[in-house]
Chain A
Amino acid sequence: MQNLDQYKAPADIAKWRALALGVGGIALLAWAVGAYMNTEQALRSWLLGYVFWSGIGIGALGLLMLQYLTGGAWGVVIRRTLEAATRTLPLIALMFIPLAIGVYTHSIYEWTHLPADDHFIKDRWIYLLPWSWIARSVIYFVLFLIMMRLLNGWSVKQDQTNTVEESRLVLEKASRFSGPTLVIYSLVVTFASVDWVMTLDPHWFSTIWGFLFIVGWALSCLCFTVAIMANLSGRAPMNGILGKRHFHDLGKLMLALVMVWAYFNFSQFLIIWSGNIPEETGWYITRMAGGWGFIGMVLIVFHFAFPFLILLQQDFKRRAKWLATLAVFILVMRIVDMFYLIAPNPRVDESIVESGVFYISWMDFVAPLAVGGIWLWWFFGELMKRPLVPAKDPYFEGAVEHGRGH
Chain B
Amino acid sequence: MAKNIYGILAEFDTATQLVDAARKVRDAGYRKTDAFSPFPLHEIDEALGIKRSILPYLIFAGGITGLLAGFGLQYFVHVIDWPIIVGGRPHLSLPAFVPPAYELTILFSAFVAVFGMLFLNGLPSPYHPVFNVPRFALATREKFFLVVEAADEKFDHEETRKFMETLGAQEVFDVPE
- Chain A interface (Cβ < 8 Å from any Cβ of B): 266, 269-270, 273-274, 276, 312, 314, 405-406
A-side interface mostly? helix
A sample of 21 cross-chain residue pairs with beta-carbon separation below 8 angstroms, ordered by A number, consists of A266-B98, A269-B95, A270-B95, A270-B96, A270-B98, A270-B99, A273-B95, A273-B96, A274-B87, A274-B95, A274-B96, A276-B87, A276-B88, A312-B60, A314-B56, A405-B42, A405-B43, A406-B42, A406-B43, A406-B45, A406-B46
Least CB distance, B163 to chain A, in whole angstroms: 27
A270 to B45, CA, bound (A): 45
Closest chain B residue to A266, Cβ basis: B98
Q: Which residues of B contact A273 (CB under 8 A)?
A: 95-96
Least CB distance, B96 to chain A, in whole angstroms: 7
Q: Which residues of B contact A406 (CB under 8 A)?
A: 42-43, 45-46
* Interface size counted on chain B using CB atoms at 8 A: 12
Closest chain A residue to B88, Cβ basis: A276
A321 to B28, CA, bound (A): 37
In the complex, given contacts A266-B98, A312-B60, A406-B45, what are 7 additional A-B residue pairs having Cβ atoms less than 8 angstroms apart?
Answer: A270-B98, A273-B95, A276-B87, A276-B88, A314-B56, A405-B42, A406-B46
Q: Which residues of B contact A312 (CB under 8 A)?
A: 60
Least CB distance, A365 to chain B, in whole angstroms: 33
Q: Which residues of A contact B95 (CB under 8 A)?
A: 269-270, 273-274
A406 to B87, CA, bound (A): 54
Q: Which residues in chain B, 85-107, are within 8 Å of chain A measured between CB atoms?
A: 87-88, 95-96, 98-99
Q: Which residues of B contact A266 (CB under 8 A)?
A: 98
A266 to B98, CA, bound (A): 9
Closest chain B residue to A276, Cβ basis: B87
A314 to B45, CA, bound (A): 16
Q: Which residues of B contact A274 (CB under 8 A)?
A: 87, 95-96
Least CB distance, A399 to chain B, in whole angstroms: 16
Q: Which residues of A contact B42 (CB under 8 A)?
A: 405-406
Q: Which residues of B contact A269 (CB under 8 A)?
A: 95
Least CB distance, B42 to chain A, in whole angstroms: 5
A405 to B46, CA, bound (A): 11
Q: Which residues of B contact A276 (CB under 8 A)?
A: 87-88
Q: Which residues of A contact B60 (CB under 8 A)?
A: 312
Least CB distance, B155 to chain A, in whole angstroms: 28
